[in-house]
Chain A
Amino acid sequence: MPTVTDLMISARGLRKSFGRPGEELEAVRGIGVDVRRGEAFGFLGPNGAGKSSTMRMIAAVSPVSGGELRILGLDPARHGPAIRARLGVCPQDDTLDVDLTVRDNLYIYGRYFGIPKGEMRDRADELLDFVQLTDKARAKVDDLSGGMKRRLTIARSLVNRPDLLLLDEPTTGLDPQARHVLWDRLFRLKQSGVTLVLTTHYMDEAEQLCDRLVVMDKGLVVAEGSPLELIRTHTTREVAELRLGVAAVGETHDALAAQVSDLGERVEVLPDRVLVYGHDGDEVVAKVHERGIQPAAVLVRRTTLEDVFLRLTGRTLVD
């Protein structure tokens, strides 16, 4: 059982609603979450699941509508400035000042925390080095690539040496190289003892970075655990993908699915393939062939967090 001081974030029945009384929109509908010191914790969920609303409440910039929330053991309604003094925030949309240079963005932001000028100058140089932007120190923010801007935002979120770092979709819109550089920096921060809380809808990112995570859907937590636990609990070890080509108009692959439904724990029908979830994918494929079914191609793979995610939150498009 974690002690109270180990709890960086503790939420019970946490709610957030927007709009006028009577016609509120409930973005977060009663969630319970504990984040311990030193862990990397993820909020996963499709768009509109309530991740960003939750993050804004944790960042102490959005009042709680209901339930209880403690950040670093403090109540955000009463101790907002004290909490924010110890947080690092990397928002979903870059809020860098495009009119300032890269270095000034760090310097000015550090001054908001009351860091003395001389100390902040040194710290800005250290942070630029940490995010590999030293040679861009005098550049305008507008001249940076998307990946560089994100790195600068991360550097900026570290100016006050935070105990808790909040990252809202840190790698959305970045190319693979930029994502890996960013992950590497986040690993290092984690190693140095910073507690990370991030939202993402990239499953590989969650698997790479998170010790523990919750899956949110429609304002509620629908699953919680380590990536491995979630995979074990919510899906099988492997999946056999039977690729069949796109079904003709008005037809589906349901008939075929019926023929293989006993081969796995669960069968999912998609427009171009049938997924059979089982413990041994190769065995599933062998039995499919024994029954005289000849898919255009087969693929046996380990299940991932993405399978869990789609199972829990559905394949319907969320806008």
Chain B
Amino acid sequence: MSLVNLTTSALAISAVCATAAMARDQVQVAGSSTVLPYASIVAEAFGENFDFPTPVVESGGSSAGLKRFCEGVGENTVDIANSSRAIKSSEVEVCAANGVTDIIEVRIGYDGIVFASDINGSSFAFTPEDWYKALSEQVVVDGALVANPYKTWNEVNANFPDQPIQAYIPGTKHGTREVFEEKVILAGCENTGDIEAYAAANGGDMKAAEKACISLRTDGTSVDIDGDYTETLARIESNKDGLGVFGLAFYENNTDKLQVATMGGVEPTVASISSGDYPVSRPLFFYVKKAHIGVIPGLKEFAEFFVADEIAGPSGPLAEYGLVSDPELEAVQQTVADEAVMGGGS
């Protein structure tokens, strides 16, 4: 008898569900784990100050978020994708193929990428050249390209301590990795002039030379971390010789365990990043589906609230957490207000 009861109640529950599945009343956000803390701070404040429910923010990486964003238009797709890099033209094409045509690009500010070691370890003053020489698969020694021979930091730069090279860098699914490759490794490759040697080896093809620059050594000195910064921190705690790549906000929450290295002689702070003195920073974005505005309640309000002065401004909670606020915030606010889509379309 109880069996029959249970079956009936199961059927009743699924019937209730079917009716409830019709409408979604909260904004859904997915994407970059770097943007996640900022988005969750905004979502929380949004839920408190508006009559809309608190938006749902999932993480999983910029690429994963944009992939879900481009799956199509409709209530079971996400409304906003967070990204720690600009959307690629290939992704825009995938979006368009799935009917996601009008995308609003919103830049929320800048984020610094810092290099840090254990608090009790040796301190470093890096230049991009040092990182290039330490991690690139091949380097130029005595005018010839050879497999990277360096084992310790003092071989890379005589000013550094005699400490084995061990770097924990973000894995390839992270947007941070691209910035690291472009602004550190590639910059170092160009500054040392080694790019000429790569170009010569590739028959003068600069594109191939750049690609060769950023291919990193695979002998265990450089470890890809596919998880979050907490994993990088755990690696450094267990290996005091390790150096890790972090976001500025993460470092600022863990100053008791990490010491930050300077890059090109500049210490990473909100001030030095916003002035552009600290070289390794990148813009953070979120992308809004225009087709969902007016369908999902609170979507436009949330986007506007995200870039409002009191949130994303220099004295707002995002800046307090570590975001470098956008000097052109007003233009961004205008973009959101006008619902101006990418590519200048309607």
Chains A and B come from one and the same complex: no
Binding site for A on B (CB under 8 A): none
**A residues at B contact (CB < 8 Å):** none
